[in-house]
Amino acid sequence: MASPLIKNLYTTTFSQASSHDGSLLAVGNNEGKIVMFDLTGVAANQESGIGERLKSPCRVINAHSDAVYAMVTTDAFCISGTTGLIAGRRWSEVRQPQSQAAWTISLECDQANFGTPEVNSLGYDGSRGLVYAACGDWRTHVYDLETGKRTQTLEGHDDYVHDVVASGDLVASAGEDGQVLVWDPRAGREPRHRLAPHTHTQLARPHLGRFVASLDLYNDWLVCGGGPRAGVFHLRSLALTTVLPPPKPAIHVTKFTRHAEGGDRGGIVVAGVTPNLYVCSMAGMVTAQLPSSSPSIYTVNVSEKPFTMMTYGGTSTKIDVCFNLNYRDHTVSLLEE
């Protein structure tokens, strides 16, 4: 066996989720482990305005045999996705040492070509209780959390699906094939809009590929990035409105931050294969450039309630923590002491 020292050098953090009450943060890595952080101390001190650092992990769960590629939070559950499996754990139970997954959903593997598909991203529609899983079999599967049954499958990508986001009535997915598809799941099987960022000359970066690794929805706005540069699209006109920095590296995270600094205007977080995280305005201006302890960032988690906190991690055993979107507050190790 390789020494843990060397193994840790190649650890990658893929996903994060934080509970709605702001008391727990879950971080999933490539070894199938979910690292739990207790935020109650931070939350208590955040109200009094005294700076508090995250403590070392309160628990490390050996959740899956493969990488925890995706996580999403609901009111009661911390849902994690890995190769061929989606599992839900109750937030109220994850602290207990022997707690197991409350439920699991196995992905059907009907096409031998793909092997067992992986869950690359999870989206959650709270109003309907639906979970969207962006999968390696080129499709986005929709599951009803009440029954645990698959209710729908969104087919349209020509390669595996990187990311899926549900916002309001709309669902958007981004794929390795370079397409961004916007669906109205109630309306039918065909996507309502198709976007192809690599066809826009301002965004295209052929040497990096055409894949779209990340996207986010907010009202009429959609932000996405990957091989092409990150860009903001207006959904009604389907027009590219803003090109976002950074120009060089591949993008793995694009995210709207709704009630962050800057009031109603909101901001956009962009990160990728670069040791910096960029916070931009809707106009594409960089408002903050935060250093990262990971050379590449794969996951950014922003929670606004009960206090603003942003955590980001990637190709290292550390995550960085900010309590606003302007500077990095501190860095926490994901290793158990």
Partner 1 sequence: MVRGDEEGETTTTTVREVKRRRKEGDVGKGEGEGTIKTTTITDTYQAALDHECWEAKSRTEEDDQELVSSTMANIRSLMTEILKLKQDRPNQWATEVEEKRVQVLMLMLSLRRLSRVQKVRVRDSREHTVESRQGVDGVTLQLQNLLYEVAHLKKEVRRCLDFQSADQEIDLVPVEQFYVEAPEDISRPTETVENLHEQRLARLQWELEQRRDQTQLFDKLTQEKESVAETINEQERKLASLAPRISAILEATRPLQEALDLPIDAKKEQQRIVQLLPSPLYTLWVQASAYGEAFDLNIKVDVVGDIDAAKKLIAKEEDPRTENLSESDNEQDQQEENLSRKKRNRKSQKPEVEDLDDGVKQMLGLHPLCVKITIGAKDGNSVVLSFFYMQTLRIVTVKCSIHLQEKTKPAFTDVISGETLLNCLFLDDDGQSSPNPANYFQLSRLQINLPDHLHITGRPYKWAQALAGLSFSSFKQPNITGDDTQETSRAGSPSTTAPPPGDSEVVVWQDSAEQMPTTILAVRRRLQARMALHAQLLNLETANSTSSIVIPPELLRQHFPGKICTELKCWRPVSWADYEAASSTQHLRDAHVVTPQHLLFSAILDRKHVRLEAMVAVSPDYPNVVPVVSLTLHWEGQHQATNNPQLRQMEREVNVHWDELVSCRSEKLHLLPLMLYRLAVCLDVFTEAYSAHADAGKPDSHFHKEKIFFRPARGPDRAFPFKYHPKLGVFSQR
Residue span 282-321 as binding mask against partner 1, x where in contact by CB under 8 A, dash where not: -------------xx-x----------------x------
| Of 74 and 121, CB closest to partner 1 | 121
The 3-state secondary structure of 147-183, one letter per residue: CCCEEEEEECCCCCEEEEEEECCEEEEEECCCCEEEE
Q: Is 114 in the site for partner 1 (CB under 8 A)?
A: yes
Q: Is 67 in the site for partner 1 (CB under 8 A)?
A: yes
> DSSP letters of 184-246?
-TTT-SS-SEEE-GGGSTTT--GGG-S-EEEEEEETTEEEEEESSPPEEEETTTTEEEEEPSP
Read off φ and ψ for residue 306, nearest 5 degrees: -80, -5
Q: How far is the CB of 107 from partner 1 (least distance, A)?
A: 14
Q: Is 120 in the site for partner 1 (CB under 8 A)?
A: yes
| CB count in 10 Å sphere of residue 298 | 24
Q: Is 132 in the site for partner 1 (CB under 8 A)?
A: no
Q: Pick one of 252, 282, 293, 300: the residue that binds partner 1 (CB under 8 A).
A: 252
Q: What is the dihedral of CA 154, 155, 157, 161, to 10 degrees?
A: 40
Handedness of CA 246, 251, 256, 260 (dihedral sign): negative
Q: Is 121 in the site for partner 1 (CB under 8 A)?
A: yes
Q: Pick one of 176, 216, 320, 329: the residue that binds partner 1 (CB under 8 A).
A: 176
Q: How far is the CB of 136 from partner 1 (least distance, A)?
A: 6
Q: Pick one of 57, 84, 136, 225: the residue that binds partner 1 (CB under 8 A).
A: 136
Q: Which residues bind partner 1 (CB under 8 A)?
A: 1-3, 5-10, 12, 14, 67, 69-70, 113-115, 118, 120-121, 136, 160, 162, 176, 198, 206-211, 213, 249, 252, 273-275, 295-296, 298, 315
